[in-house]
Amino acid sequence: MKLLENIRVIDMTNVLSGPFCTLHLALLGAEVIKIEVPGGGDLARRLGNVPALNQELMGTSFLAQNSNKKSITLNLKADEGKEVFRKLLKTGDVLVENFRPGVLTRLGFSWDELEKINPRLVYCAISGFGQTGPDANKPAYDQIIQGLSGAMDVNGDERLHPLRAGFPICDTVGGLNAAFAVMAALYHRERTGEGQAIDIALLDSIMPPMGWVAANLLIGGKPPVPMGNDNFTAAPSGAFRTKDGFINIAANQQKQWEDLTDVVGVPELKTDPRFQERDTRKANRKELTPILEEKLTQNTTEHWVEALNAKGIPSGDILSLEKALKSDQIKHRKTIATVKEPKLGDIKIFSLSAQFSKTPGSVDAPPPRLSAHTEEILSQLGYSKEDLQALKEKAVI
């Protein structure tokens, strides 16, 4: 049994935040029906570093987050398209969209209308700033939210600041927040029978993960200092040079610090007043790092990782993305799945990262070709082949 078996999700999302939300629902077994614009579909179908795939409307950006989904095309500006949508809504459990606020209302499907059509519907709207507030109607992409949330302010160092995260962290965290909210709303519906509307803002979503940094300002009154690869909570905690590269070390506890001095060969630092206590080590990290690196650069990253981990001091290599994706731990956890796409052959995509003992998620189907399931879904709604042909001729599907 799948966790979300018999749950139908109507997915009107594009690009990243919304599709990332519905991907998790699909991996948990929900039937996710992706509604796309006839002709082009999700913009992500044309995004990626392989031009040939973009031309096939199967860009790598689309392949990354649309497995297990079904695709139908529907022109919601046409009256016939709106009628199809109403019928589909009556069969759905969840509706997810990431339009700018007001778009669905202008199409005739405000929350009041959606609730009348299907009182049990869980409706999740994802946007940059939320459905209300002074910035609600502003356009937003991930980088805009990174800047407005303060996320770029806490990255970088004195040489490069502000600095964006190397992947769309606001979109992905927003998508996860939306998936969490949908699951909570479905649980509420199980107990009460009632659906509800959910308003997810990317700006809201990315701020709580900065809780430790924000608390230092909100409660402690101290703004963040760009520290690059150093961890502001402890020292030595960050990236350090070795003989053949770099190593991450996180000696965040006093015992870990003291054990580290023995392993590296500087036991005298235990009683050095500059480094004896956590707060003084943090204040003097610029003096501490060169002392440690003088020793660390005498041996390889592999040597130090093994030696430090053996003493319970968290440490690790700093891998390229390619090596990280191929690591033994990732293979063991089956984080990456292989699925066969009829034309592309085997493709590698991420599976569900939460592992359930009784209702595991899985990649069961490749990302869909545009409109691959239009006939199947509309036939379920009572449309005949003649009806479908008429809708095609009117460019409704």
Question: Residue 194: is its pLDDT beyond 90?
Answer: yes
Q: Identify any residues that bridge with 248 across adjacent strands, giving them in sequence order.
A: 239, 316
Question: Residue 242: is its pLDDT beyond 90?
Answer: yes
pLDDT mean over 40-55: 96
3-class SS of residue 159:
coil
Dist. CA 35–CA 14, nearest whole Å: 10
Q: Tokens standing for 319? A: 């891998």
**What percent of the chain shows pLDDT beyond 90?**
98
Q: Tokens standing for 263? A: 């392993």
Q: In 50-160, where does DSSP find H-type helix?
A: 51-55, 60-63, 79-91, 103-106, 111-117, 142-149
Contact 251, 236 (CB under 8 A): yes
Place of tokens 């507030």: 133
**What percent of the chain shows pLDDT beyond 70?**
100
Strand order in the sheet with 94-97: 69-73, 31-36, 8-12, 94-97, 122-127, 196-201
Where in the chain are the domains?
Answer: 8-206+331-393, 237-318
Tell me what the pLDDT averaged over the chain comes to.
96
Question: Residue 38: is its pLDDT beyond 90?
Answer: yes
Residue 60 pLDDT: 97
> In this predicted model, what pLDDT tens digit does every residue of 64-100 receive, in sequence order?
999 999 999 999 999 999 999 999 999 999 999 999 9
Reported confidence tier of residue 1, pLDDT bands at 50, 70, 90: confident
Reported confidence tier of residue 204, pLDDT bands at 50, 70, 90: very high
Contacts of 238 (CB under 8 A, 6+ apart): 227, 228, 229, 230, 231, 248, 249, 289
Task: Select from 316, 373, 386 the least CA-distant residue to 71.
Answer: 373
Residue 17 pLDDT: 97
Residues, the chain, total? 397
Residue 102 pLDDT: 94
Query: How far, in whole angstroms, is CA 123 from its chain's centroid?
Result: 20
Contact 75, 395 (CB under 8 A): yes
Superfamily per CATH, domain 8-206+331-393: Crotonobetainyl-coa:carnitine coa-transferase; domain 1 (3.40.50.10540)
Reported confidence tier of residue 41, pLDDT bands at 50, 70, 90: very high
pLDDT mean over 156-183: 96
Residue 237 pLDDT: 95
> How many Cβ atoms sit within 10 Å of the Cβ of residue 391?
22
> In this predicted model, what pLDDT tens digit does every residue of 263-299 receive, in sequence order?
999 999 999 999 999 999 999 999 999 999 999 999 9
DSSP string, 231-286: -TTSSSEEEEE-SSSEEEEE--SHHHHHHHHHHHT-GGGGG-TTTSSHHHHHHTHH
What residues are labeled active site?
Answer: 171
State the CATH class of domain 237-318.
alpha beta
| For the chain, the helix, strand and coil percentages under 3-state DSSP, each to the nearest 5 | 45, 15, 45
Question: Residue 262: is its pLDDT beyond 90?
Answer: yes
Residue 389 pLDDT: 96
By CB neighbour count within 10 A (0-12 exposed, 13-18 middle, 19+ buried), where does 74 fall? buried
